Amino acid sequence: MKVLANDGISKSGILALEKGGFEVITTKVAQEQVANYINENNVSVILVRSATKVRKDIIDACPGIKIIGRGGVGMDNIDVDYAKSKGIHVINTPASSSESVAELVFAHLLSGVRFLHDSNRNMPLEGDTKFNDLKKAYGNGTELRGKTLGIVGIGRIGQATAKMALGLGMKVIAADSFIPSVDVKVEFFDGQSVTTTIVPQSLESLFKEADFISFHVPAQNGYILTEKEFATMKDGVGIVNCARGGVINEVDLVKALDSGKVAFAGLDVFENEPTPATQLLMHPKISLTPHIGAATGEAQDRIGTELASQIISLLS
């Protein structure tokens, strides 16, 4: 059987699939050509990340598809229920990239509180002529320890983020409509651990209480964060979104940054990917990454081998 990994797959995943008797194709096929390619090459499994979309049109056009796999968590680029109604298995890897995304959240948080994103823009330009001016401009940073991190969505990635926050000495609060409480276990290198229970509260109270807010929710039909919600927050709040574009109203975010209501933002995802708004890309208070939350070597290895294991189990 043939597997089309249209958005790529790790070498370890390829080796595991080949060992299981599958032929793996890593040719990048344009979205509009995916259905034709699947049919012409008798592909049984299509694997995607966030770039390729597997909608009803492809599902209807490709009766030979047996499995649709998503390397990662969110499956908003796949018509999951429709695929399942056609007898197609839909799989993903919800646990494989949690720590990678959580670490990126803290990369943005640490960058924001110490102005690293802006300093790294200006030091190459003016570090040799205005060193003392830059030192003064970036010399009033903020520590994370002792501050309150509000996590919107306390699923796997939210919990991984909570563990890191607790390890840094932060207070963690959460909002989640589906999880009544969660035990978060912080494990140390020597085998010891500490467990704490987080009981989610209302989104409204989280916005009022948090010093920093991180989003870990699937794609939404509407914004969670708009001008109305910004108004209820503490002055100087920090916002990080490594979840999905469209969670935050970006126009309102820029206004809140310009007014000082929001001290900084860290964005890994955008409403208009892959062409984010220029006012975001150029804003001095925004730390930017191009949707790389799960893009570590370790995470991609875990994703590849987990997908391979599920495919082999289902089809062999």
227-260 pLDDT, tens digit each: 999 999 999 999 999 999 999 999 999 999 999 9
Q: Count CB atoms within 10 A of the CB of residue 22.
A: 20
Instruction: State the pLDDT at residue 316.
Output: 81
pLDDT for the residue 60: 98
Q: Order the strands of the 67-70 sheet from edge to edge.
A: 23-25, 2-5, 43-48, 67-70, 89-92
Rg of the chain in Å (alpha carbons): 21
Residues 6+ apart with CB under 8 A from 122: 134
Q: Select from 200, 92, 85 the least CA-distant residue to 152.
A: 200
Instruction: Please give the pLDDT value at position 50.
Output: 86
pLDDT at position 224 over 90? yes
Tell whether the model's pLDDT for residue 94 goes beyond 90. no
Would you say residue 74 has pLDDT above 90? no
Averaged pLDDT, 123-130? 98
Span 122-132, average pLDDT: 98
Tell the burial category of 122 from Cβ atoms under 10 Å away from its Cβ (0-12, 13-18, 19+): middle
* Cβ 216 vs Cβ 157: under 8 Å: yes
Whether 141 has a pLDDT exceeding 90, the answer reads yes
d(CA 26, CA 156): 29
Cα–Cα dist 32/36, whole Å: 8
Identify the residue whose tokens are 């939404």.
220
pLDDT at 73 over 90: no
Q: Token digits for 189?
A: 């290198």
Percentage of the residues of the chain whose pLDDT score is greater than 90 = 96
Catalytic positions, please?
244, 273, 291
pLDDT of 95: 87
Cα separation values, 304 from 17, 99, 243, Å: 9, 16, 21
Domain boundaries 2-93+297-315, corresponding CATH code: 3.40.50.720
CATH 3.40.50.720, the chain: domain bounds: 2-93+297-315, 98-288
At 289, give phi and psi (nearest 5°). Answer: -140, 155
Q: Is the pLDDT of residue 280 over 90?
A: yes
Cα 29 versus chain centre, distance: 24
Structure-token match 């399942």, residue found:
84
Residue 196 and residue 249: Cα distance in Å, rounded?
Answer: 33
In three-state secondary structure terms, 49 is: coil
CATH of domain 98-288: 3.40.50.720
Residue range 3-34, pLDDT digits in tens: 999 999 999 999 999 999 999 999 999 999 99
Residue 204: both structure tokens together: 């409204």
